[in-house]
Amino acid sequence: MAGEAKKQNGFIETVKTVVYALLIAGVFRTLIFQPFWIPSGSMKDTLLIGDFLFVNKFAYGYSYASCPSVRLPQFGVNIDAKTLCGVFDGDNARFLGSEPERGDVVVFRHPSTGFDYIKRLVGLPGDQVQMKAGVLHINGTPVKLEDAGVFEETAGPQGPQGLRPRCANGPVGDGGTCLKGRQIETLPGGVSHSILNIANQSSDNTGIYTVPEKHYFLMGDNRDNSTDSRVPQVARGVGFVPYENLIGRADRIMFSSAGRSMFFFWTWRGDRFFKAIR
């Protein structure tokens, strides 16, 4: 009997330990840092498919979007942040909030779909944003651009989704060299970062977007391969992003995998460990 009681107590203690660990992990993920795995190429070459990073939730304070969404389709689990914290939604405000800065790389909740996106913040409330011939204009002034040569990558399926890159040098077969034009863009305020260009397309010439109060305009660094604020939500784009939809700022890459899984350590990119995001 004593042995059975000891086993039962040991099982209960194990369950308690697991529950406590999950609670601590949940609090950590909700309030401090959220892991984020880059699934697409919209932020190349700042962020590559397979980069793994932690999102700094301290940066902008907290809103309903700070609650994690739990999506495990293979197990039929789809718990949205609004389900957990929707009571705090609706006022476009934040607790302990601080304003993001132009040039920040931001993870945010898509205003329509609720999925997490990552883009660069280029337009602040009240700004007028426009693209002319592929050049970003803010309040009527073109940003500074410097030629930075060519970005090269190997053509072929990338990441778990097997996405294929678009190339400026036309369709390229698997194993070939895929090229994109590369420039350094300097935003008002002084933040400089790399952008890529593939071809002339409709998103390179837009109307004027006037950013509403407490909203932001975000774009991908891979300008011709990004669904962002240039496309309104009604057209399945991102549109203006409300203040409360910001999740946090991406500051540093922890590691990066060029394979189909983050666990394939032999595919990790050795030059991206703890790399600062600029």
The residue-averaged pLDDT of 6-14 equals 52
Residue 12 has pLDDT above 80, yes or no: no
Residue 42: closest CA among 260, 209, 198: 198
CA gap 218, 21 in Å, rounded:
36
Q: What sections of 61-157 are H helices per DSSP?
A: 81-85
pLDDT score for 128: 98
The residue-averaged pLDDT of 162-176 equals 94
- pLDDT confidence tier of residue 15, bands split at 50, 70 and 90: very low
Question: What are the structural domains of the chain?
Answer: 32-276 (2.10.109.10)
pLDDT score for 89: 83
- pLDDT confidence tier of residue 8, bands split at 50, 70 and 90: low
- Provide the pairing of β-strand 105-109 with 116-123: antiparallel
- Residues annotated catalytic, as ranges: 42, 119
- pLDDT confidence tier of residue 5, bands split at 50, 70 and 90: low
CA atoms within 13 A on the CB side of 121: 25
- pLDDT confidence tier of residue 3, bands split at 50, 70 and 90: low
Residue 118: closest CA among 195, 180, 37, 184: 37
pLDDT score for 9: 54
C-alpha 217: how far from its chain's center?
A: 14
- pLDDT confidence tier of residue 21, bands split at 50, 70 and 90: very low
Residue 24 has pLDDT above 70, yes or no: no
C-alpha 26: how far from its chain's center?
A: 20
* Total residues found in the chain within this entry: 278
The percentage of the chain sitting over the pLDDT mark of 70, rounded to a whole number, equals 88
pLDDT score for 16: 44
pLDDT score for 263: 86
Question: Which residues make beta-bridge pairs with 54?
Answer: 35
Per residue in 186-243, pLDDT (tens digit) is 999 999 999 999 999 999 999 999 999 999 999 999 999 999 999 999 888 999 999 9
